[in-house]
Amino acid sequence: MRLPTGLVSRPMSILGTRVVRTEDPVFLTRGATYTDDLTDERLTGALHVTLVRSPLAHATINSIDVEEARNAPGVVAVFTGADCDIAPALLFPAANKKMLRPFLATDRVRYVGEAVAAVLTEEAYQGEDAADLVDVDYEPLDAVVDMKEALKDEVLLFPEAGTNSVTAMHLNKEEPGDDFFADCEVVVSREIVNQRVAAAPLETRAASAYWGEDGRCTIFCSTQNAQSARDEVAGWLGMDAKDLRLILPDVGGGFGAKIGADPEFALVAWLSKKVGRPVRWNESRSENMTGMVQGRAQLQTITIGGDRDGTVKAYRLDVVADAGAYPRLGVALPMFTRMMAPGTYDIPKVWSTAQVVATTTTSTAAYRGAGRPEATQAIERAMDLFADEIGMDPAELRKKNVVKPEQFPFTTKGGAEYDTGEYAKAIDLACEAANYEGLRAEQARRRERGDALQLGIGVSSYVEITGGGAFVENATVQVHADGTVTVLTGTSPHGQGHATAWAMLASEELGIPVEKITVKHGDTDLIPTGAGTMGSRSLQTGGVAVHNAAVELVELAKQRAADVLEASIDDLELDKATGSIVVKGAPGAKSVSLADLAGTEELKVFHEWDAKKPSFPFGAHVAVVEVDVESGKATVERIWALDDAGPILNPLIFDGQRHGGIAQGIAQAMLEEVVFDPEGQPLTATFADYGIPSAAELPSFDLVTMETPTTINSMGYKGVGEAGTIGSCPAVQNAVIDAVSHLGVRHIDMPLTPVRVWTAIKEAQEATR
Amino acid sequence: MKVEITVNGEHTSHDVEPRTLLAHYLRENLGLKATNIGCDTTSCGACTVLVDGEAVKSCTVLAVQADQQTVTTMEGLDGAAKGELGHPVTKAFRQEHGLQCGFCTPGMVMAAVSLIEENPDLTEKDVREGLEGNLCRCTGYHNIVRAVLVAAGKDPDAAQAAEAVSDERTTAPGFSTGEGDK
C-alpha cells in the first residue's frame, strides 16, 4: 500500500485522513482561472502590453526609434525608459545601493531579456508585430557571466558602484585560522557547482491593471503573496498601499519564483494610468525563461575533516552566489545556506562564508528550497567524499555523526535551533525500505562481473528550515446563518490545496462538513494582511491560525449560547456531529446550532498567530541509479523518500507535495541547467532547450512515513513543500557518483548528463593509468 | 478567413486572422479558457485537445487547419458543462490527486483520454511514455500516472509495483539509451 495514513492517531477526526480536494471539480471541468483567463468586466477593452526586450547581455543604448512601431496597425502607444518616471529601484534592501533597476532601461542593458520599451496594442498579435519595429541602437559591452570573473571587477555592471560585489552581509570578520583542521586525520576539499536552474512554473508571469474613478488601482496578477506584492508595487510607484488592490486569480505554480512582485507589475499599473485604459500583460515562455528570476547558482568550496574511525570534526563551506544583473532575493539566500551548512550532523567546528556577485544574467531569487538545498547538497557531497576517503559506508558515516534524539532542542554551529528530530532512525527506515544491504550486494556483484550497467546507491540525510521567513499569519473564520463557513487566510496557495486543508482544520473544530466551508485568499481588500505561501510556511503558520480561529469561534459561540440556553458556559460543549452547542451529558436537552447563533449576531473570529520560530523538518532519501559506463548514461531507477514534517493533515496532499519536490530534485541532479554562453546569451530559453523532465524520465516514488511533531505549535505541524527537493537531489547525485566510484571517480557536477559522466570516467581512468 | 469548427458538440464559426492558432481560437474567439498555453515550442502540451478524436497540441495547429473538423476540449467531457466529473479520466484525476496548480491539467486530461482510447491495456511504462509530450511541474507525475491507470481500469498499486521491479529501461522513446543500435 503506497498511501500512508497518519501514524499519529486521531480517533473520529478528519485530521490525518485522505480528503480529495474541493478545488478539483472546477479545475477539472471549466478549468482554473489564471490571470490571462480573466474576463472581468473591469478589464473590458484592455490594451495588450508587449515588452521589447534586450537581445544583448550588456550594452549601452545610443538611441531608441519607436516611430515605425507607433504607426503600426493596432498600436495605441509606445513607451521607452525616457518616458517612464518610475524611479529606478533597489530590489533588495541589503544590496549595494547603487545597483538600481530601471523599469524600462534607459542608458544601459545588463542582461538578455531586460525590458527597453513597452508597446500597447488593441490585439495581442499586433503587439508582437509592432515590437519588432522598435529600433534600438545598442553599443555592445563585454559581458561577464562567470562568477569568479565578475569578482575581479574588470567588467562592471554598475560603474557607479565601483564593484560587482553585491553585499557584505554574509562575510565573517575573521578567518577560521590555520589550525581549523589541525586535529583531523583526514581532510577532503573540493569545489562543486550548484548550477543555476529555472523554476519554470507552467503558468508564466502575468498581470492586468485598471484604475477606478476613485483613483485606486487594481492589479490582477500571478504571485505567491498578494499583500507583500501590493506593498512592493506601492513602494515602487510612490503610492499609498491603501490605494492599491491586488487580486490573485488562480496561480499556475510558483516554486519560489513568484514570491513578491516583479517590476513588470508596477510597469503595467503605470502604463494603465498613462493611457487611461485597462491593460493586460502575459509573457511568452521564452520571455519567462530570461525574465523570471532563477534559482541556486552557487559555486561552493567544501572542506571536511575528521578521523579514520568516521568522526567528522570540522567543516568549512565557502560560497560564491550569483545575483544576476539586478540583485533580488538571491542576495539573502546564502544566509539559509550558511545556517543549514552542518545539516543533520553534530560537527564540533563549522565555518562558512558567502560572497554575492552581480553578472550580466537573469536575476536570481528563491527556487524550491531557496538556500537550503544548496546547504544540503554541499554537506551531503562532503559526507560522501569523506566516506570514500576513509573507506566507510556512507549510511554508517552519516548515522555516526548525526545529532542524537536526546540532544534536542539542538543549537547548531550554523546558528539554528533544531526543534525535534530522529535523524538516525530516518536513515534506518529509508535504508530498510530500500533493502540497502541487498542493493550493496547487487552492486558488488555487478562490479565483480564488470557489467556495463553499474548500480549506484545514494543516501541523503537532511534537515531543513520551514516557516523561516515570516512567523506571523492570520485567519478569519465566520459561520453564516445558512450553516456555511467562510475562512479568510493570509496564505496564498498555488497548487498546495489550502481550500481543502484549511477547510479540514475548520471542520474539525466546528463540526461543519468540509463541503460547506469556503476558503478565500489573495484579495488585499478582503484580506489586508498576510505573508503568503513560500518557504513551506503555510500549514505551520496559516493553518495553525485557522485552527486557532476556529477554536476561538467555538468559545465565542458557547458564550452566546450560555444566554440562549440559560446555562453556565462551563456546562456547554460543541456537538461536532450536529454543529450545535449542547449541554454536556444532557442528550435531548435544548441546544442551539452555530448557524442559528450566526443568524442572531455575526459569528466571526479574526486570529493572528505568531509562531515566533521556524521548524526543522528532516528526512532521509535513498536513490538507486543505473549507469551505463560505456556511454555515461545514468537512469534513476528507484527512490525511497522519508520526509518527516510532523503530523500529516491530509496524506493525499502531503504526498503530492513530496512527489513534486522529489521530481524537481531529481531534475536538478540529472537534467536541468540554465546555460549562458560567454557573451551572456541564454542557450536554454525555451522548453525545447531546457531539461524539464517528462513522465518518461522519472520513476514512481516510494514513500516512507514518519511523523515527529514540532514543539513550536500546538498541532505539531512542520512544512513539507520543499522537503522532497532537498532530500532527493543529493541522494541522486551521490548515487550516480557512487555507481562509478570504483572506477576512481570522486565527483561529477550536476546535471549528470551522459557526457559529464562519461568524461568523469575517462578522466579517472587516465589518472590511474 | 472564415472557419467552421464543431467544438464540444457545438457548431462554431468565426472570421479569423489566417495566422490564428487553434489554441487562440478556442480561448479568444470561443472563450473556452480551460485550454492553456504554457510554452511557444510545442513542448509542454498544456494546450492539448482532441481534433477528430486524436490528441493534438492546439498551439501548433492553425484554426484554419481545423476547419470543418471536430474539436473536444476538457470543457466538452462528460458532465463538465454542469461542473460535474462525469468522465472516468477527470474522476480519477481527482481521486488520485493528479493535479495541483491545475495549469497542465486540461491538456494532460485530454492526452490521457486519447491514450486510453488508443490502448486500454496500459502499463505504467505505457502511460509514462504516452504522456511524454505533456509537462507537469507540480506533481512529479506520480499521481497523474496513477490517475490514468485508474481511468483505464487498472490497479495503480499493482502497476507501479510491477514497473518498480521491471528490468525494462525506463527511457523515453527516441532518447538514447546509451546502448547503441541494440
- Whether B62 and B84 map to the same domain: the answer is no
Q: Can you give the pLDDT at residue A634?
A: 97
The answer as to whether B69 is a domain residue is yes
Cα–Cα distance between A357 and A151 in angstroms, integer? 6
Cβ of A663 within 8 Å of Cβ of B145? The answer is: no
Q: Where are the domains of chain A?
A: 38-141+219-237+254-281, 294-466+614-768, 468-610
Strand ordering across the sheet containing A618-628: A453-463, A618-628, A634-644, A702-704
Three-state SS for A493-535 is: CCCCCHHHHHHHHHHHHHCCCHHHEEEECCECCCCCCCCCCCC
Note the pLDDT tens digit of each residue in B92-115. 999 999 999 999 999 999 999 999
Note the pLDDT tens digit of each residue in B124-144. 999 999 999 999 999 999 999
The answer as to whether B182 is a domain residue is no
- Whether B110 and B61 map to the same domain: the answer is no
pLDDT at B178 over 70: no
Give pTM, 2 decimals: 0.96
pLDDT band at B164 (very low <50, low <70, confident <90, very high): confident
- Whether B126 and B49 map to the same domain: the answer is no
Give the residue-averaged pLDDT of A164-181: 90
Note the pLDDT tens digit of each residue in A426-452. 999 999 999 999 999 999 999 999 999
| A658 close to B134: Cβ distance less than 8 angstroms | no
- Averaged pLDDT score across all residues of chain A: 96
The domain boundary, picked from B53, B76, B99, lies at: B76
Cβ of A2 within 8 Å of Cβ of B157? The answer is: yes
Note the pLDDT tens digit of each residue in A288-345. 999 999 999 999 999 999 999 999 999 999 999 999 999 999 999 999 999 999 999 9
Contacts of B180 in chain A (CB under 8 A): 631
Probe site for chain B from A3, A27, A446 (most B CB atoms < 10 A): A27
- Whether B9 and B55 map to the same domain: the answer is yes
Closest A-chain CA to B159: A700
- Whether B120 and B154 map to the same domain: the answer is yes
- Averaged pLDDT score across all residues of chain B: 92
Name residues 254-283 of chain A within 8 A of B (Cβ).
255
On whether any CB of chain A is under 8 Å from the CB of B79, the answer is yes
Note the pLDDT tens digit of each residue in A202-251. 999 999 999 999 999 999 999 999 999 999 999 999 999 999 999 999 99
Which secondary structure element, helix H or strand E, spans residue B90, and what is its range?
A: helix B88-95
| A597 close to B145: Cβ distance less than 8 angstroms | no
Tell me whether residue A1 is exposed, middle or buried, using C-beta atoms within 10 angstroms of its C-beta: 0 to 12, 13 to 18, 19 or more. Answer: exposed
CATH of the domain at B115: 1.10.150.120
Cα–Cα distance between A252 and A248 in angstroms, integer? 11
Q: Can you give the pLDDT at residue B169?
A: 57
pLDDT at A2 over 90: no
CATH of the domain at B33: 3.10.20.30
Name residues 86-125 of chain A within 8 A of B (Cβ).
125
Axis crossing angle, helix A498-510 with helix A544-565, rounded to the nearest 10: 30
Cα–Cα distance between A434 and A458 in angstroms, integer? 11
Contacts of B127 in chain A (CB under 8 A): 695
Shortest distance between the Cα of A338 and any Cα of chain B, in A, equals 28
Cell numbers representing residue A734 in the block: 551521490
**Three-state secondary structure call for residue A11:** coil
The CATH number assigned to the domain with range A468-610 reads 3.30.365.10
Q: Can you give the pLDDT at residue A174?
A: 81
From the candidate CATH numbers 3.30.70.380, 1.25.40.10, 3.30.70.2970, 3.30.365.10, the one assigned to the domain spanning A294-466+614-768: 3.30.365.10
The answer as to whether B180 is a domain residue is no
DSSP A404: P
Percentage of the residues of chain A whose pLDDT score is greater than 70: 99
pLDDT band at A172 (very low <50, low <70, confident <90, very high): confident
Give the residue-averaged pLDDT of A618-636: 97
Contacts of B175 in chain A (CB under 8 A): 696
pLDDT at A26 over 50: yes
Strand ordering across the sheet containing A472-479: A517-520, A485-489, A472-479, A603-610
Tell me whether residue B64 is exposed, middle or buried, using C-beta atoms within 10 angstroms of its C-beta: 0 to 12, 13 to 18, 19 or more. Answer: middle
Q: Strands of B47-168 (E only): list them.
A: 48-51, 54-57, 70-72
Cell numbers representing residue A588 in the block: 435531548
- Whether B131 and B149 map to the same domain: the answer is yes
| A150 close to A358: Cβ distance less than 8 angstroms | yes
pLDDT band at A420 (very low <50, low <70, confident <90, very high): very high
Probe site for chain A from B137, B165, B168, B181 (most A CB atoms < 10 A): B137
- Range of the structural domain that residue B143 is part of: 79-167
Q: Which of A255, A494, A700 sits opposite B124 (nearest CB)?
A: A700
Strand ordering across the sheet containing A217-221: A75-80, A115-121, A47-53, A279-282, A206-211, A217-221, A244-247
Q: Can you give the pLDDT at residue A11?
A: 57
Which secondary structure element, helix H or strand E, spans residue A761, and what is its range?
A: helix A754-768
Closest A-chain CA to B176: A633
Domain count, chain B: 2
Q: Can you give the pLDDT at residue A3?
A: 34
Cα–Cα distance between A150 and A36 in angstroms, integer? 38
The domain boundary, picked from B57, B76, B95, lies at: B76
- Whether B61 and B15 map to the same domain: the answer is yes
Give the residue-averaged pLDDT of A609-620: 97
- Whether B107 and B72 map to the same domain: the answer is no
Q: Can you give the pLDDT at residue A390?
A: 98
- Whether B31 and B52 map to the same domain: the answer is yes
- For domain A38-141+219-237+254-281, the CATH class is alpha beta
**Paired sense of beta strands A279-282 and A47-53, if any:** parallel
- Whether B92 and B32 map to the same domain: the answer is no
Give the residue-averaged pLDDT of A278-286: 97
On whether any CB of chain A is under 8 Å from the CB of B74, the answer is yes
Cα–Cα distance between B81 and B8 in angstroms, integer? 10
pLDDT at B14 over 60: yes
The answer as to whether B179 is a domain residue is no
The answer as to whether B83 is a domain residue is yes
Q: Which of B35, B90, B138 sits opposite A28 (nearest CB)?
A: B90
Q: Can you give the pLDDT at residue A356?
A: 98
Cα–Cα distance between A51 and A78 in angstroms, integer? 10
Give the residue-averaged pLDDT of A386-415: 97
Q: Half-sphere exposure (CA, 13 Å, Cβ side) for A398?
A: 33
Probe site for chain A from B27, B62, B97, B108 (most A CB atoms < 10 A): B97
- Whether B70 and B5 map to the same domain: the answer is yes
Which residues on neighbouring strands pair with residue A572, listed in sequence order?
A: A583
The answer as to whether B178 is a domain residue is no
Q: Is it true that A294-466+614-768 and A468-610 share their CATH fold?
A: yes
From the CB of residue A626, how many other CB atoms can be counted at a distance below 10 Å? 23
Which secondary structure element, helix H or strand E, spans residue A627, and what is its range?
A: strand A618-628
Cα–Cα distance between A121 and A469 in angstroms, integer? 40
- Whether B135 and B64 map to the same domain: the answer is no
On whether any CB of chain B is under 8 Å from the CB of A9, the answer is no
Cβ of A31 within 8 Å of Cβ of B35? The answer is: yes
Shortest distance between the Cα of B175 and any Cα of chain A, in A, equals 10
Cβ of B38 within 8 Å of Cβ of A203? The answer is: yes
On whether any CB of chain B is under 8 Å from the CB of A638, the answer is yes
The domain boundary, picked from B9, B41, B76, lies at: B76
Cα–Cα distance between A7 and A663 in angstroms, integer? 25
Q: Can you give the pLDDT at residue A111?
A: 98
